[in-house]
Each structure stands twice: as C-alpha cells, then as structure tokens.
Structure 1
Amino acid sequence: MSAFSLEPEQTAWAQELRVLAATRLRPLAERGEPGRVNRPLVAELGQLGLLEALFADKEGPRSGALGLCLLRESLARSCTEAETALALQGLGAHPVHAHGTVRQREEWLAPAREGRAVAAFALSEPDAGSDAAALTLRAERDGASGWRLTGEKRWISNAPEADFATVFARTTQDAGARGVTAFLVPTDRPGLGGEPLDMLSPHPIGTLTFDGVRVTEDDVLGEVDRGFRVAMTTLNRFRPSVGAFAVGMAQAALDATLAHTSQRRAFGGVLSDLQSVSHQVAEMALRTESARLMVYAAAAAYDRGDPGIARRAAMAKLLATETAQYVVDAAVQLHGARALQRGHLLEHLYREVRAPRIYEGASEVQRSIIGKELYADHADSLTTEGPSV
C-alpha cells in the first residue's frame, strides 16, 4: 500500500468516525468538566470499540500506526475532547499491552480497553520533562523483591483520577537512562496522592506524589533498569499520531475558515473574493496536506518496520504540530474578533493546539532527534562508502 493514499475502507472509516464523534461523543464531551477525566466519554469510547483500536495486533486497514493516525485525526476534526481521552488512555495502557505480564494484562488491560479503568502515563517530573533520562523519582529497595517509591510526577495524563499508572522510577542511581524501571501502580496504593493542574488546554493533567509507595517485582513492566526502553517504545508508537491529532485540528480550523470566508460579506463582496484571503487559505491548505502526508508516511514506515523510525516519527510530530499552530492562528485572524469569544470553535482550538508542541517531546527535542539521526547516518555512510567529493 502506498503511504500517500488511503484505501476506500480507510476513507469510509474516517468519515464514520467523524460522524460518531459529532453525534455520540461531542454531547458527552460538552457535559464534562474541563481539565477533569470524563468517565462517561471514556466509557463510550470503549463501548464503540474505539479504545480496542489502540491495542489491535491484527493487520488490516484500521490497525497499526496508520490506523491509529486515522482514528486520532478523524476524532480531532469533530471532537478534540474525545481524541484526547482516547490518546491519554492509549498512552497510559500501551506499556501494559506491550510489556505487561499475563497477570497484569488480565487485571488492567481488559478494563482499560473497555473504558472501565482509566490509565495514566507517569514519566514527566518538575525538573525532568523533555530530559526524561534525568528523572529522580526514587525507587529504594524494600526487602528482596520490593521497592518504595518517593518523589513527584507532574504534568501527568489523567492524574490524579486515573485507576492505574505506568510509573517510571530510578532504581539505579547515577546510571542515566539505564537505571530507570517502569512499574504498573494502581492509584489506590497507600502513600500515593496528587492533584489536578489548571492548564491552558482543557486536558485532564495533574500531579502524582509518592510517599513511600510500595511496589514489588510483580509490578515491574518489562525488566528492572530497562524502563527507558518501555517509555521510548511507547512514545515512538504515539508520536506520529500526535501529528495526526494536530492535523485534525488544522483541518477543523481550515474547514471553519472556508465556511466563514465564503459567506462573510465585506468590502462589497465576500472575504474569499479578496486575493489576500484566498492566498492565505491556500497556504493553510498546503501546509495541512503536507503535514498529513508526512504523518501517514511515518506511520506506514512504523507498520512496515522500516529503519529510521525515531527520525521519521520526530519529523512527523514536529511538522504537524508546528503546522497546526500556524493554521489555527491564521484561522483566528481571518475570523476576527468572533474567534476570540469564549465558546467559539477557534477559541477552543487555539487553547488546544499549543500543548502538542510541548508534550511527548517538545519541538526542540524533535529537532535534536532528527539532527542526531542524520549525523549518525552520515557517519555510517563515510564508514561504508568513504567520503564524498
């Protein structure tokens, strides 16, 4: 399958998803409290089978990284709250799907897939956001088969209301990325607390505090001191689809702009008659489609197992999130003051669109990944082919 075209089934599914988002999910989103977990919305995502798509191992046009991108883009175009609820659930539960034991999967993955249990991904800390290898949440040995977790996580998805969290803690001091272990921690463990954070975007984000929270070897996801691999495989899985979320928002802003500028009368005609306006809209469409194609290409490469996945995922996230910021800002400008009014679609998108340029690796981190990979490839080519003239 070409990375630059969709099969008819995929196109039809994307349309079906947009209808479901508008008719079944948006009403639930509108009844939710901004910045808090919307459990009815999560449950409906499970009821519709959309959470299942996060963990589908089978091959097919709706599966894999490309299927996830189609899902996230389509939901974002009609209901960003539904897209966010789905993505946060996937981020928190994917490590259990990919690295969990049989017992861990039976206890937590099935409820997460059905929308009955809410998951959190607890990586970031007050002084370790983009530099994930610098995290300091301590896991101190407590007996032969256990640890006590002490410290704080911040800017955590679905915290503190999640039912369980994938928590990354330092089990070996002064070992950088090699001394981190991933734990599956139910949030009712003694000593575990937290509070919601009031963020610019209306996402359920908060803190988790650990006061000697006990975990055992049965709670380890993957291997001891190999948790950084759990984190990176999860982020690489979801980074292209963060770009899809951004593309969905850009497309929603473009759709709204086309409708507005083709009807809004000004200067003796409609806004779309003005060359400056039509050129601006053309630029918005060009950038949106370019970002979409890069996201699809990165996802298709991931599904094929191509080399250079980290670089392609970083490129897709970087281009798509920066593009969405541009497109939404341009849409606000073309709508004028009405787009600044609380409750307007573009006012909502303007607050939503800023966060993806920071989370799951800020734009600067994506550029660092791309540069590092490029120079590594260049060095390899010199080794195998000799210097070029």
Structure 2
Amino acid sequence: MGKQKSPFRLKSKFKPTGDQPKAIGKLLENLRKGVREQILLGVTGSGKTFSLANVIAQWGKPTLVMVHNKILAAQLYREFKEFFPDNAVEYFVSYYDYYRPEAYIPEKDLYIEKDAAINDILEKYRHSATKSVLERRDVIVVASVSAIYGLGRPENYIKLRLQLYRGMVISHGKLLKRLVEMGYERNDYALKRATFSVKGDAIEIIPSHSEEEIIRIEFWDDEIDRITRLSLLNREVIEENILHIVIWPATHYLAPRPTVKQALKEIEKDLIERVAQFKREGKEVEAQRLFQRTSHDIEMIRELGTCRGIENYSRYFDGRKPGEPPFTLLDYFPQDFLLIIDESHQTIPQIRAMYEGDRSRKLKLVEYGWRLPSALDNRPLKFGEFLKKLNTVIYVSATPGDWEIERVCSQGRV
C-alpha cells in the first residue's frame, strides 16, 4: 500500500536550518516507529513553531497543540495560520472575559452566584474548531487547558446538525423548528452569530462558527430551491448554487429531545432521593433549598430546553454514570490525532491542578443543598483520565519537568 499523502500544505520562504532538520527528522522517525511520547528539547521562539509545523505537515494527522495560557495560544495560532493558510488552523480557549464561579462559604452563610461575561468572538472560534475537527483531517487546533473541561457529548452535537440539500423536501416551518431546536434564535432585525431571519420565502442563517457570512435558503413550495452564501458585511455572493451544506448547533451543550426527556426523569429521581436524605439527617433548610432550586431548573429545561447553570446537569444529558469523565475537546478528535504540549513544564502542572480546585468548591455547594451531587461531574478531566485519552504526544520544553523526563524513554528525547 502506498504512503498516504499529507493533507497539510506548509508555506514558508525559509527552509529548516541548524539543528532543525535533525530534530524534525528524529521526531518523524520516532512517530513512524510508533514511539508514543517524545520530548523536543531546547528549541525556543519562532524556530520551535517552524520545526513543529514541519513535523505536522509531514506526519499529516489532525493535531491539537495545548499551552498554558490564552496569550501564548493566540501567538501560536497566528504563527500556525501563517504556515498553513490553506488548512484549518483553529483557536480554542475559554470563552469567558470575566468569570466568578458559583460558590458557598458556610462560615459566613454566603452564597455567591456565578457571574460571567462571555466573549462571543471566542465562542465563535470554539465552534469553528469543533466544526473543523469533525469535518476534515487537515486541522490544527491551538488550545489552552480549556480543552480538558466538559464540552458536551460529540455524538449529540453531530446528531443535532442540520444537513440541507438543493431539492430537499422540507417545509419552511419544519426548518424553522429545527433551527430553534439547535439553539438558534430568530432575529429579523439585527443578524448576528447563531441567529436566523425570515425574508418571504427565504430563511437566512448566521452559523454558530461564523459572523462573516449568511447562509440563504430559498424555497419553492416545500422544497429547497437554492442555497447561497453571502457576505454579512455587504451581502455580496460568496458562493452560489450550493448543492449541500451543514449547519452545526448553536451550542455544544444541547441534546436530542428524547435524551432531554430521559435526563429530566433522572434529575427528578435524584432530587427526590437527595431531598429524602437531607430530611433523614435533619437538614430541613438544605432539603427545601435543593427542592426549590432544582424544581425551577427542571421547569426551565422542560419549557425552554435550557436553564441557568445547565452545565451542572451535563452528566444526565451526556448519558454518563456518576464519576465518569466528561466529554471534552479531545473526544471530538479522531483516535489517531497528534497532541503537542507546548511549554510542558508549565502546562502539565496546570492540567494536574484543575480537577482538585474545581472539586473542593463544588463539594460545599452539594453538601449545603445548593446543587445535586451530579454537579461534581461537571468538571475538568482528572490527570489520569487526560492521559488515557492520548494517542501520540510531543512534549516541547527548554526545561522539561521530572515527570516528562521520567515518562519518555531516551529514544524519545530529541
């Protein structure tokens, strides 16, 4: 069988120099031999990114690059974008500009409600990243440790996507209903990301992954007559006579209707059991608090499909058992993906620390009746769970930690 051609096209006026050709060659040789973990030592700055770009281009597998902060992620994203202008280079970080987590301080009897400001541009980038990972092989995602936080079950995200074809028989009303089920909002006046508008026999959609384009669906009776992509800025035609297009959900945290119905049954069952437990323990305040708060959430989900803090019920919508790891960005990648952990001496300790900090805060919320125990399963991956999801890893550090050095055999040190 012939060697499979890489889908990546590296564009640069420079060629590898100095120690770079040797490092690139050694990394690729080890990848082909099946060496699962390697360390790239002592390369810094733009030379490091160029060396990694050469490895990605020749290895040809979907790649996730993880770093320890948003600023470094943005820098690497820009550099990889320049090296791979014809491929999908994506950016995946936390979408919060500001975040104050929900908490309870029993010593002061002080409940602190979650407060956050979501950056819509960062949310757009996250949707663009998952879309690219699910649709193509020539993809590089540069991510912060946000990649190990719960993202919703990829099977649900795929199941809820909307595939439209020219000539497809679907009523105007049914398409509108599907868009609402996918989390899109109708806005006939100000089109923005993840909204749609109705203009006569046409429906115009701004997809979740973009704020630059309109997807215009024109009908002839109950049949799609024409699909066109327009510029949101000036309504110029970008692409016309499209035969097939995919619209992805407006949020990663949706589930199909039968799943939601089953989830609500399980939430109600767990609520009854937990309230009964509090009452047996003589904790009437906690029992009443939990019953009121959770009952309100259940009604909101039943009526609107969502509620404030819906992520605390993610285990039910994902179909996970208590204690099972959340689905994360890593689960959206195919099994043969390459992971590059940059500045690993800082990124690895950060990945290790995420779970414990999150759990200690949530235990208080559960203990005092602010949340069901299932809230503990809305969490980042434990370090051991993270390691189990990996296939092939390159750690990159000028000063690797003891953990990486012990982990990687001498053959994998480059």
Greater RCO (CA < 8 Å, at least 6 residues apart): 2
Higher helix share: 1
Higher strand share: 2
Q: Structure 2 length as normaliser, TM-score?
A: 0.24
Q: Structure 1 length as normaliser, TM-score?
A: 0.25
Point out the structure with max Rg over C-alpha. Answer: 2
